[in-house]
A and B are shown apart, each in its own frame.
Chain A
Amino acid sequence: MHRTGTAGKLFDAFNFAILALLAVITLYPFWDTLIVSVIPLDEYLGASIHLFPKSLTFGAYRYLFSMKELWTSYGVTIFVTVAGTALSMLLTVMAAYALSQRQLKGGRVIMFLLVFTMMFSGGIIPTYLVVKNLGLMNTVWALIIPSAVNTYNLIVMRNFFFTLPEGLIDAARIDGCHDWGVLFKIVVPLSMPAISTITLFYAVSRWNEFFNAIFFISDKNLWPLQLFLRSMLFENESSYSGGGDSLFLLGPSIKMATVMAATIPVMLVYPFFQKYFASGVMIGGVKE
């Protein structure tokens, strides 16, 4: 381990370079997009590769923030993220805790039924019909309820609960705590790493909500951010009217500004959670 000859040093240098390159390749597309969103059109057209902006303009952002549609879709997405994540966490934590209790009869059968849904599904069309029959079409709930519980997250959560010392829960029971007390006063506070991680997973997938919206939402007033972004990126004939600069003059920068508006919130939240990923929370998902 500690004897590194010339070959070892060479390998280390090479390894360092490769990994650094991977990190750069990962970040560069974001950087380039950010640059394009803040440089004037002539600079964009003039340079072939823009590593740093020569001059800054926030015209694209001004135009974007003047669009009513942006704020509507932000509103939908923020609601779906907050309400959806809260609902998902509540259902997931309660079910995972109940299923982690060894004395629960029928627990194994129920677990099998849940895991089976990962292997086999009826397909999207029958799900679509269920959502339709429940009268959820074109409601914000269609973005929340159909993906309320993610089986993988539930399994990770349950496996984490298994690692908690059993004696603790038994002691609490003897002290007269009932199941709700045990769960919310003892188990949840002890499981913060797992809960943070799973919360992030749910929140990000809500923020990125696209699949359900494509299937269940046709009303533009209920478009989440991702659908608004898609229309900005891929619809040539934009029916939007903002204030100030014309769309044509803004060119690609308006598109990239919209991309940034959807990306930056994720980037801001991500560092606070990522320290938990390595803490062994993930291992739970592999077992079973």
Chain B
Amino acid sequence: MSTAESEIRAQAAKPVPRQSSGKQSAFWRYLWFHRHLYLMLAPALLFYLVFHYIPMYGAVVAFKDFSITKGILGSDWAGLKHFNYLFSQDKFWEVIGNTVVISLYRLVFGFPTPLVVALLLNEVRVKLFKRTVQTVIYLPHFISWVILGGLLINLLSTDNGVINNMIKSFGGAPVGFMSDEAYFRGTLVVSMIWKEFGWNTIIYMAALAGINPQLYEAAVIDGAGRWQRLLHVTLPLIRSTVVLLLILRLGGIMEAGFEQIFVLYHPGVYSVADIIDTYVYRIGLTEGRFSMAAAVGLFKSLINFALLVLANRLARMMGEKGVY
């Protein structure tokens, strides 16, 4: 909890002086006095209402037979028909499986990487070098997947890509990183890590910068080497940051990266790369089966929400604060 929040709590806890002129008019007076603040808030609230809360209500099309002409309200209820149909489809489970597998790969290989890099950066005492490396590794985060798709085509092409040229010069056969089912997921995960590892060090760097240097000085006086300082000072102090990020990642396990996969995949690799979001896109927008697509999307949202709550519980049990 930030200091700001505790102050809010303190504010809220204060007894409010009773207004003699009745609650109603006091409330309006309050509103009128702060009308400008509420005006500032209004456009953003309208946005959240229209683009977040109405769609939450709109998710009921998953339980209806949606027809464009009748609209969401006018369409007939269908109960769990779409869900029952989906759960009986092998394709649906394949898509769920792909999503989870790709996500877990990304978690297992992608989660530790920024932490390790941040710890390495933290050991660098040459300021200029440190800043330069940071600037460079943050960059890909700001580059779109379409552009990176172009870079990957260039690097990994079987005709004349640099990587395959190297493989060939060592006498190997060219590898279809983008076209072969066996390699496609690896390409996805590695390129995702390549894009985001640098940016993800930021939060760790911020946490590391917040560590009191006197703790290290005390450790040195006690005769701690570099390794012991890492084990006994650094890691315990950034533990909560790590746990927090892990919770958030677990809450997004059903997000395997729509944009990246949408740009890179093709029917040849659907069996290993078709994820929930791409599947929703195809059945919803290319086949026009809105209710079915909405059912898949809602299923995904519910799983995500449940995972987030679960991860948060676990974190609290471990004595950490959690996300909320």
* Cβ-neighbour of B151 out of A29, A103, A208 (below 8 A): A29
A-B pairs under 8 A by CB, number: 283
- Name the interface residues of A245-288: CB closer than 8 Å to any CB of B: 252, 255-256, 258-259, 262-263, 266-267, 270-271, 274, 277-278, 280, 282-283, 285-288
Of the candidates B2, B7, B244, the one having the most CB atoms from chain A within 10 angstroms of its own CB is: B2
Is B51 in the interface zone, CB < 8 Å from A?
A: yes
Q: How far is the CA of A18 from the CA of B298 in the complex (A)?
A: 44
Binary CB contact string for chain A from 95 to 122 against chain B (1 if under 8 A, 0 otherwise): 1011111111101101001110101111
- B137 proximity list for chain A (CB < 8 A): 22-23, 26
A contact face: mostly helix, strand, loop, or mixed: helix
Chain A residues within 8 Å of chain B by Cβ, number? 102
Determine how close the nearest CB of chain B comes to the CB of A148; give it in whole angstroms.
Answer: 5
- A44 proximity list for chain B (CB < 8 A): 160
Binary CB contact string for chain B from 139 to 167 against chain A (1 if under 8 A, 0 otherwise): 11011111101111111010010100110
Interface residues on B, range: 35 or more
Is B59 in the interface zone, CB < 8 Å from A?
A: yes
Q: How far is the CA of A277 from the CA of B200 in the complex (A)?
A: 12
Of all chain B residues, the one with the shortest Cβ separation from A94 is: B40
Known: A48-B165, A286-B203. A130 touches B154 (CB 8 A): no
Determine how close the nearest CB of chain B comes to the CB of A126; give it in whole angstroms.
Answer: 3
* Cβ-neighbour of B304 out of A48, A120, A124, A211 (below 8 A): A120
Are A266 and B143 closer than 8 Å at their CB atoms? yes
A-B contact pairs, 30 of them (CB 8 A): A12-B123, A26-B140, A27-B139, A29-B155, A30-B151, A45-B160, A48-B169, A49-B166, A95-B41, A98-B37, A98-B41, A102-B8, A110-B41, A115-B324, A117-B52, A123-B59, A124-B277, A124-B297, A125-B58, A125-B61, A125-B297, A128-B284, A130-B55, A134-B50, A210-B263, A230-B263, A252-B157, A255-B154, A285-B203, A287-B2
Binary CB contact string for chain B from 233 to 267 against chain A (1 if under 8 A, 0 otherwise): 00000000100100000010000001100110000
Is B18 in the interface zone, CB < 8 Å from A?
A: no
Are B155 and A121 closer than 8 Å at their CB atoms? no
Known: A120-B56, A277-B138. A19 touches B258 (CB 8 A): no
B contact face: mostly helix, strand, loop, or mixed: helix
- Name the interface residues of B186-224: CB closer than 8 Å to any CB of A: 194, 198, 202-203, 205-207, 209-210, 216-217, 220
Known: A32-B154, A91-B43, A286-B203. A123 touches B162 (CB 8 A): no
Known: A1-B217, A18-B120, A148-B47. A179 touches B154 (CB 8 A): no
Determine how close the nearest CB of chain A comes to the CB of B310; give it in whole angstroms.
Answer: 12
Is B132 in the interface zone, CB < 8 Å from A?
A: yes
- B297 proximity list for chain A (CB < 8 A): 122-126
Is A60 in the interface zone, CB < 8 Å from B?
A: no
User: Which residues does B use to contact A, with CB under 8 Å?
Assistant: 1-2, 4-5, 7-8, 11-12, 30, 34, 36-38, 40-41, 43-45, 47-48, 50-59, 61, 71-72, 117, 120-121, 123-124, 129, 132-140, 142-147, 149-155, 157, 160, 162, 165-166, 168-169, 194, 198, 202-203, 205-207, 209-210, 216-217, 220, 226, 241, 244, 251, 258-259, 262-263, 277, 280-281, 284-285, 290, 293-294, 296-298, 300-301, 304-305, 308, 323-324
